[in-house]
Every structure is written in structure tokens, then in C-alpha cells.
Amino acid sequence: MSKSQLTNKHAVKPTSAMNTLQSMNDNDAMSFNSTNHASNALAEVACAGAPIDASLPDYAIQIKDVKMVFNMASEQLNSLKEYVIKLIKRQLFFSELLALDGINLNIQRGDVFGIVGTNGSGKSTLLKIIAGVLEPTEGSCVVNGVIAPLIELGAGFDLELTARENIYLNGSLLGYSKSFIQENFDDIVSFAEMHEFLDMPMKNYSSGMVARVAFAIATVIVPDILIVDETLSVGDMFFQEKCERRIQELIDNEHTTVLFVSHSIEQVERICKKAIWIDKGHTQMIGDVNDVCETYKNSQ
């Protein structure tokens, strides 16, 4: 605990005046999101397009005291019968899992942030909260900008459909307009290198090929924030390199904020500039990528 408090000092602390302003903004954003937290990142274009409040620091993502509690019992109850049995046995809401506890993280625009930690430490939960898929039990998460989530590539693909149809389907789910997809269709296809399989049902694709299409769709826009979660491990070596180049391009040319999760520490060190190490839901360390990775490696 003391360690995590210590490391919190690394995070940028806003001044008190900024703090109040920021909390107002937080409320604003939360109420905006509360109508539908899951509306979509693109919806925020409207906000991002408007002149940005001067009081708003150059943060892409602000995470404040985020706590995430999963109810283990309620996750398994799928039917009324189970529910009644558990109720009678008084086992209901028995165990709680604290997936994240008191996470504070401010990510500035253009930051390339790695997230490291062992399996089950809460990395993906954190990414889901940032992507707006999960709502934190406590605390707030404010995101300024368009997010391209690459959490498990290919969500929203219907494998019965052909690649061509899936590009439109997935594109629409990511918030692209029809005209945008039409304009960029060739780019997507050539990036994924799959001209000849375009009209084949995707169930006949290998998982690597599915990942190619998904990556191509997700990165065809220039997102403000790119979330990459273990996605590069699926493709072959050459495609992995290609993806890395594309991410590097976004970082260098477009100042895209990148959140990067990978079990390959080398990859994190290569791509990221800063990093956070999470262990069992607690922040262990935030700081320069080399320091964090070094400490993380030595902790094993």
C-alpha cells in the first residue's frame, strides 16, 4: 500500500484551482456519459471538435481513484433456479473480487504508455474502463478524443459474412460512416493484404488473417487514442512488424496517444516511453518505461 502511494507521486498532480475546474469537467463528462456510457468514442468527436476548454489540461485520459469490484456470485447466476437456491443458502453476493483498487493515472496527449503486469492483474479491466465498455464501481475516467480500441481484434465480426461485408459491419460499429468506409476500403484491403479472399466467408479464415483485417479496419482512421491489447501476437512475423510500423507512424506523425499491453516486455520497451505496472489491481509503479520494466522483471 505504502509503495503504491509513493509511486502515485509520479503522476502529475493538478493544482487546486485546476482540480476544482477539473472536477466540474468530470461531472460534466460523467453526466454526458451516464446517458449512455457506451455510446461510442466517436460521439466525443463533437466535443473534441469544439474548442477545447483552456482549463482542460492536455490530458488524453484521466483516471481518478478507479475501483472495480466484480461480484463473483452474480457472474455465475444464469437462471432463476440458481438464484433462488443461492438465496436460500445465503450464498448470494458471497465473494467479491477487487479487480482494480485506487488506480490514478493521467495520460497526456501523445504519450505512449505501456501497461505491464502478470495475468489477472487487472490490465484488461483497466483498458475496458478506458474504452468505455466497463463502468468503474467507484471513481471516474475521462477520455478526451476518439478511441480506436483494439481489445481482442475482430469483435463484431460475423464469421458467416465475407470479409467485404465484415469491413462495413465492423467499420460501422467502430463509428465510421458509410462514405468513410467506401473511401478507405482499398486502403484497408491492401493493408490487410487479402485481395483474393475478399468475398470468402470469414469462417474460412485463419485467426491471423482475421486479425489482419481487424487491425487494418481499426487503424485506418487516425485515432486520438489507440488501445492495443495483445493483438499483435496473432499475426505472422511480417505482419507484426507491419503493425508495429503503423503504430509507430501514428505516434510519430499524428501524435496519437497509445496504450499498449503486451506480455512481451521487449516490445513494450521498444514502443512505449512510459509505463505503469499493475499488480493485483494496485498500481505498483508509474514512470519511465525502462525503470518500470526493469523493476517488473526483477520482481519475478
Partner 1 sequence: MRKQQSFLRERFAKDSYIMTTLVSKDFKLKYRRSVLGVAWSVLNPLLMMVALSLIFSHFFRFQIENFPLYLILGNTLFDYVSRSTNYGMLSIIDAAPLIKKIRVNKAIFPLEKVLFELLSFAISLIAVALVLIFFQIIPTANILFLPLLMLYVTLFASGLSFALAAFAVYFRDLVYLWGVVVLVWMYATPIFWPIDMLPDYMQTVIQFNPMFHFVTYFRQIVLWGDTPSLFSNLICLGMGLATFAAGYLIFRKLQRRFILHV
Based on the shown chain and the rule CB under 8 A, indicate whether residue 54 belongs to the binding site for partner 1.
no
Question: Which residues touch 120 (CB under 8 Å, ≥6 apart)?
Answer: none
- Write the CA distances from 297 to 3, 124, 151, 228, 293, integer angstroms: 17, 20, 24, 21, 6
Beta strands in 109-237 (DSSP E): 112-116, 138-143, 147-151, 225-229
Based on the shown chain and the rule CB under 8 A, indicate whether residue 185 belongs to the binding site for partner 1.
no
Q: Which of 152, 183, 186, 249 binds partner 1 (CB under 8 A)?
A: 152
Sheet holding 257-261, edge to edge: 147-151, 225-229, 257-261, 112-116, 274-279, 282-288
Half-sphere CA count of 169, side-chain side, radius 13 A: 16
Smallest distance, partner 1 to C-beta of residue 32, A: 8
Q: Which is nearer to partner 1, 8 or 71 (CB)?
A: 71
Smallest distance, partner 1 to C-beta of residue 71, A: 7
Based on the shown chain and the rule CB under 8 A, indicate whether residue 183 belongs to the binding site for partner 1.
no
> What's the CA gap between 284 and 297, in Å, rounded?
13
Count interface residues toward partner 1 (CB under 8 A): 46
Stretch that binds partner 1, among 36-44, 52-60, 103-111, 272-280 (CB under 8 A): 36-44
> In the numeric block, which cell numbers belong to residue 146?
476518439
Based on the shown chain and the rule CB under 8 A, indicate whether residue 74 belongs to the binding site for partner 1.
yes
Smallest distance, partner 1 to C-beta of residue 247, A: 19
> What's the CA gap between 168 and 182, in Å, rounded?
8
Q: Which is nearer to partner 1, 177 or 204 (CB)?
A: 177
3-state secondary structure of 108: strand
Q: Which of 102, 122, 139, 175 binds partner 1 (CB under 8 A)?
A: 175
What is the Cα 194 distance to its own chain's centre?
Answer: 27
Based on the shown chain and the rule CB under 8 A, indicate whether residue 92 belongs to the binding site for partner 1.
no
> Binding marks (x or -) toward partner 1, 115..134, rule CB under 8 A?
-------------x--xxxx
Q: Which is nearer to partner 1, 122 or 296 (CB)?
A: 122
Based on the shown chain and the rule CB under 8 A, indicate whether residue 58 belongs to the binding site for partner 1.
no
Contact 228, 258 (CB under 8 A): yes
Smallest distance, partner 1 to C-beta of residue 29, A: 12
Based on the shown chain and the rule CB under 8 A, indicate whether residue 39 belongs to the binding site for partner 1.
yes
Q: Which of 18, 21, 43, 56 binds partner 1 (CB under 8 A)?
A: 43
- Write the CA distances from 21 to 16, 59, 104, 145, integer angstroms: 9, 14, 18, 19
Based on the shown chain and the rule CB under 8 A, indicate whether residue 80 belongs to the binding site for partner 1.
yes
Q: Which is nearer to partner 1, 2 or 35 (CB)?
A: 35
3-state secondary structure of 150: strand
Q: Which residues bind partner 1 (CB under 8 A)?
A: 32, 36-43, 45-47, 50, 70-71, 74-75, 78-81, 83, 128, 131-135, 147, 149, 151-152, 155-156, 158, 160-161, 165, 168-169, 172-175, 177-178
